[in-house]
Amino acid sequence: MSYKDTLNLPATDFPMKANLPNREPKILEHWDTIKLYEQIRKKSEGLKKFILHDGPPYANGDIHIGHAVNKILKDIVIKSKTISGYDTPFIPGWDCHGLPIELMIEKKHGKSKFRDDRNAFRKACREYASKQVERQKSDFVRLGISADWDNSYTSMDKNFEASAVRSLATIIKNNHIYFGSKPVHWCIESESALAEAEVEYQDVVSDAVDVLFKLSKQDNFLKAFKIENKKDIFFVIWTTTPWTLPANQAIAIGDNIQYVLADIGNQSIIIAKDLIESLSEKLDFKDIKIVQSFHGKDLLGLKAEHPFYKKEVPIINADHVTTENGTGLVHIAPGHGQDDYIAGLKNNLEVFNPVNDKGVFIDSLEIFGGMHVRKANAPIIEELIKNNKLLCHQKYSHSYPHCWRFKTPLIFRATPQWFISMSQNRLRKNILNTLKDVNWVPDWGHERIKNMIENRPDWCVSRQRFWGVPIPLFIHKDTNELHEQTELILEKAAKIIEKGNIEAWFEYDKKELLGKDRDNYRLVTDTLDVWFDSGISHISVMQQRGLGDIADLYLEGSDQHRGWFQSSLITALATTSKPPYKTVLTHGFVVDADGQKMSKSQGNVIAPQSIIKDKGSDILRLWVANTDYTKEMNISPEIIKRTTESYRRIRNTIKFLLSNVSDFDEMKEEVKFSDMMLIDKWIIQSALDLQESIKDNYNNYKFHQIAQDIQNFCTTELGGYYLDIVKDRLYTTHKAGLARKSCQSVCLKLLKMINIWIAPILSFTAEEMYGHMKNSKLKSIFLEEWIQYDVGLNKNEKEIGEILFSLKQPVSKKLEEARNDGIIGSSLDATIKLGVNEEIYQKLLATSKELKYIFISSECHLEKILEGDPVIIIEKNNDLKCDRCWHRNKSVGSIPEHESICSRCHQNVFEDGEKRQLG
């Protein structure tokens, strides 16, 4: 007789082969059909809100791996908060104004097409941005991101644009804005000022020159210090930007720095005492003789001759002068540097900028007029040589600001711009005071943004571009003062934009706003910095959509400390005096396996689309969750391969559990905890303990710990222990017996818990899994919440469970050694002699006959030893093997008509089934 049909074999149509690239789109269709996002919102009505405010990615090009990481992390947060009982509306957004889109339109249509019709240009930009938004939205949806996609926001929405103008009005009203000519980062290619967040630093090699400025009225100096010297005396300055020398207005010293007059060849120089040695090494000139020393303050009031212009420049004090490098004397060009500008203000120097928007010296500039600054170094150095004013010329490697878009070197250039002042009305101090009220994850984010705020210059918010929110201000032609009706004008402008976008403002006849005053005022034609756009999203999105003033969480890449986190903070404190967020979480950049930045030139770029197409979104989501986002996030084909293997282990666990509850009726057959086998209760309690840790880690955004814990639980507690043990009980015990139904009850409870655990991370797999659970009551796993059970596992039972779990690995190791030594074939060929100390012996004695099931052997004899670690001896069991359960047992061959099976199997097949207590 064949006993195969008497076994309770597992059955499920949940496939082991995930086939995620084909299966996931069907799940997306399901979510769309049931209107999942709307159902979640309806279910969550009245619950405490948790608002994660989405920082808008730029609407240009396909999403890259960094975008995918960011949105997946946000999605994990949103979903974990939803299953924890929060109302978590999530409104995705896009940044749509600015230079990159302008460049794409110019590239497509040419620069000349829209020269006479700027609004046609703006409409082309708007159309392009709209297409990019839809393109990126499709990719984000494919990642399984749950969001209000039908009501997303863009910075080019007319309400958003109007809100930007109103926010500007509030900031002006609060006295944080001023108009001035000061040096800003200037991109020659775009002919526009850049914000700090648009600046990247790259290593470059520059011309470094030591330049001689001859001391004016040398006799007076010598007489004042009682020095006898017939040589010409020169101040030595050091600069890595020779092209700024035509704009020089002064030489700065540090009034507390020690300086020396030193002879070098046939001339004398003034230089910081601490830097004499480095100059000597640089010039390879050993015979430098110090004539006299004096404090920097002794040099104030002196003047020097410009090295190639017939003019004198003063010696002034400046706080930024140091003796870290150079000469301790700094060439000051207030039109070309922030520190220079500040020093110039203190000393009433002219803010002279001889460079036009295109980076060319103005024609009226003596000697170098009409020359491009990037080609000016060589001619300027030649002029210095010609005038005997060049002491040294070297190549110098250093970090230099570049345009984030063009990757080209920037220049500092003084231009008339609109600035948010960091000092007026204590804005900087107020911001710094609020930082402590924000929770920074990781906590080093607090110190990082604090240092940035402390050291940042005033924010230049004006741009000389066309595709952006206008700055609808009128300033007096003579005084540069704002129109006295500015507040009213800005509100009218906002209403115009609210009706027809920014294009309506540019088409509007502005004269109607001013009436009789119109001839005395000129319109500002600049647009707002795009960082201002996104920076006021806490007003234009959160406040306007009823989500409150302060978000619970901002979550972006670590580069946003100088970007969106900062622009949002500044605009919030300048408008509402409150920070826009309670918690700020930052994640690292994605790099390859060797820690190298992703770049096309390196050939190491991995597109999220390729992973989705080949492996599926859930593999990408699991990689994100597996990776510690507080550091750089490594990715490579090999890492994705390992992630896929981890996913398979989780999926295999799910399949096993599902396959063993296919004939289980929860309503009729569920076993109470009090009637369960001991290890059944123990594994549920272990799962519940883990669930508390998972909930805590979701709450603290420790997703990589959650992913590791789930994988370890599936591999160790389940795959390596519990599920391995219960196969015998599930397959061979009485189909309707307590032993099997207890285990099936546990399998279903484990399924429900694991389903919730993985849902925020493996969203597609969780939904697929939920659909295969016949007792699922709702339309989606994302309408469920955390499941809690009261197992009632007492102290003694818990201790026995822990003892058995701790013994399983060493026993399995001994069984493997016996197998390798040829003593046994499988573990069911073994008899185990297990020696344990008195305490363990007493705990295991009552159920010792069932230990063989725990260790998957045919026999296990419990023995007592005095002390020490357990003693495990493996012997071959020579009893006959049961054809049905494969256990070796003395009863095999002794049952009439069923000689090939054991008495246990006979009981399970032909009687009311065996009885168990342990497992």
Who's near 323: CB < 8 A, 6+ residues apart?
Answer: 254, 257, 272, 274, 275
- Give the least confident one: 258-262, 596-600, 849-853: 596-600
Residue 195 has pLDDT above 90, yes or no: no
pLDDT at residue 456, rounded to an integer: 87
What is the rounded average pLDDT of the residues 527-536? 95
DSSP assignment, residue 888?
B
- Give the least confident one: 92-96, 113-117, 244-248: 113-117
Question: pLDDT tens digit string along 813-827?
Answer: 999 999 999 999 999
| Residue 85: pLDDT band with limits 50, 70, 90 | very high
pLDDT at residue 737, rounded to an integer: 96
pLDDT at residue 600, rounded to an integer: 80
| Residue 907: pLDDT band with limits 50, 70, 90 | very high
Sort strands 233-239 and 199-215 into parallel, antiparallel or unpaired: antiparallel
pLDDT at residue 916, rounded to an integer: 93
Q: What b/e sequence results for 754-774 when a residue is b if at least 16 CB atoms lie within 10 Å of its CB, and e otherwise? A: bbbbbbbbbbbbbbbbbebbe
Residue 775 has pLDDT above 90, yes or no: no
Question: pLDDT tens digit string along 434-474?
Answer: 999 999 999 999 999 999 999 888 998 999 889 999 999 99
The first and second tokens of residue 103, run together, are 């460049």
Who's near 663: CB < 8 A, 6+ residues apart?
Answer: 8, 11, 735
Residues 184, 199: Cα–Cα separation, whole Å: 11
Question: pLDDT tens digit string along 166-177?
Answer: 999 999 999 999
Residue 810 has pLDDT above 90, yes or no: yes
CB 615 within 8 A of CB 646: no
- Which helix (H) or strand (E) segment holds residue 312: the answer is strand 312-317
- Give the least confident one: 124-128, 224-228, 361-365, 901-905: 224-228
Q: In terms of Cα–Cα distance, which of 471, 492, 474 is closest to 483?
A: 474
- Going from the C-alpha of 439 to that of each of 183, 435, 558, 575, the distances in angstroms are 35, 8, 15, 21
pLDDT at residue 332, rounded to an integer: 97
| Residue 603: pLDDT band with limits 50, 70, 90 | confident
Q: Which residue type is seen at 587?
A: H
Q: In terms of Cα–Cα distance, which of 273, 262, 279 is closest to 210?
A: 279
pLDDT at residue 228, rounded to an integer: 82
Beta-bridged to residue 875, according to DSSP, are 831
CA end-to-end distance (rounded Å), the chain: 29
Residue 220 has pLDDT above 90, yes or no: no
What is the rounded average pLDDT of the residues 214-231? 86
What is the rounded average pLDDT of the residues 47-66? 96
- Going from the C-alpha of 388 to that of each of 284, 334, 382, the distances in angstroms are 19, 25, 10
- Which helix (H) or strand (E) segment holds residue 134: the answer is helix 118-142
Who's near 374: CB < 8 A, 6+ residues apart?
Answer: 188, 243, 359, 409
CB 911 within 8 A of CB 901: no
Task: List the domains of the chain with CATH numbers.
Answer: 7-15+632-783 (1.10.730.10), 205-399 (3.90.740.10), 795-878 (3.30.2320.20)
pLDDT at residue 599, rounded to an integer: 82
Q: In terms of Cα–Cα distance, which of 167, 163, 166, 146 is closest to 154?
A: 163
pLDDT at residue 221, rounded to an integer: 86
Helical packing angle, 486-507 and 118-142, nearest 10°? 90
CB 460 within 8 A of CB 183: no
Residues 171, 419: Cα–Cα separation, whole Å: 11
Which position has the token pair 């480095």?
Answer: 278
CB 819 within 8 A of CB 866: no
Q: Which residue type is seen at 411?
A: I
Residues 555, 629: Cα–Cα separation, whole Å: 11
Residues 228, 573: Cα–Cα separation, whole Å: 60
Residue 487 has pLDDT above 80, yes or no: yes
- Going from the C-alpha of 203 to that of each of 372, 375, 410, 663, the distances in angstroms are 22, 19, 13, 67
Q: In terms of Cα–Cα distance, which of 70, 88, 77, 97 is closest to 148?
A: 88
Which position has the token pair 């920070």?
Answer: 579
Residue 225 has pLDDT above 90, yes or no: no
The average confidence (pLDDT) of the chain is 94
pLDDT at residue 194, rounded to an integer: 84
E strands, 216-266, in order? 233-239, 250-253, 258-264
CA Rg, the chain, in Å?
38
Could you count the other beta carbons within 10 Å of the beta carbon of residue 224?
10
Residues 528, 533: Cα–Cα separation, whole Å: 7
Residues 885, 882: Cα–Cα separation, whole Å: 6
What is the rounded average pLDDT of the residues 316-337? 93
Q: In terms of Cα–Cα distance, which of 867, 695, 726, 918 is closest to 86?
A: 695
Angle at 713 between CA 711 and CA 715, to 5 degrees: 65
| Residue 811: pLDDT band with limits 50, 70, 90 | very high
Residues 823, 161: Cα–Cα separation, whole Å: 80
- In the chain, % helix, strand, coil (3-state, to 5) comes to 45, 20, 35
Beta-bridged to residue 415, according to DSSP, are 182
- Give the least confident one: 342-351, 529-538, 568-577, 789-798: 342-351
Q: Which residue type is seen at 817?
A: E
The alpha-helical segments, DSSP class H, found in 397-443 are 427-434
pLDDT at residue 281, rounded to an integer: 86
What is the rounded average pLDDT of the residues 494-505? 96
Residues 162, 476: Cα–Cα separation, whole Å: 24
- Which helix (H) or strand (E) segment holds residue 33: the answer is helix 20-33
3-state secondary structure of 556: strand
What percent of the chain has a predicted confidence (pLDDT) above 70? 100
The helices-and-strands tally (H runs, E runs) of the chain is 30, 29
pLDDT at residue 702, rounded to an integer: 97
Who's near 72: CB < 8 A, 6+ residues apart?
Answer: 143, 145, 620, 621, 624, 625
Question: pLDDT tens digit string along 384-402?
Answer: 999 999 999 999 999 999 9
Residue 316 has pLDDT above 90, yes or no: yes
Residue 181 has pLDDT above 90, yes or no: no
Q: Which residue type is seen at 30?
A: H
Q: Is the dihedral of CA 637, 643, 649, 655 positive or negative?
A: negative
Beta-bridged to residue 817, according to DSSP, are none
pLDDT at residue 135, rounded to an integer: 96
Residue 508 sits at φ, ψ, to 5 deg, of -70, 140
Question: pLDDT tens digit string along 69-81?
Answer: 999 999 999 999 9
Q: Is the dihedral of CA 506, 511, 514, 518 positive or negative?
A: positive
Question: pLDDT tens digit string along 703-732?
Answer: 999 999 999 999 999 999 999 999 999 999
Residue 196 has pLDDT above 80, yes or no: no
Q: In terms of Cα–Cα distance, which of 781, 767, 783 is closest to 18?
A: 767
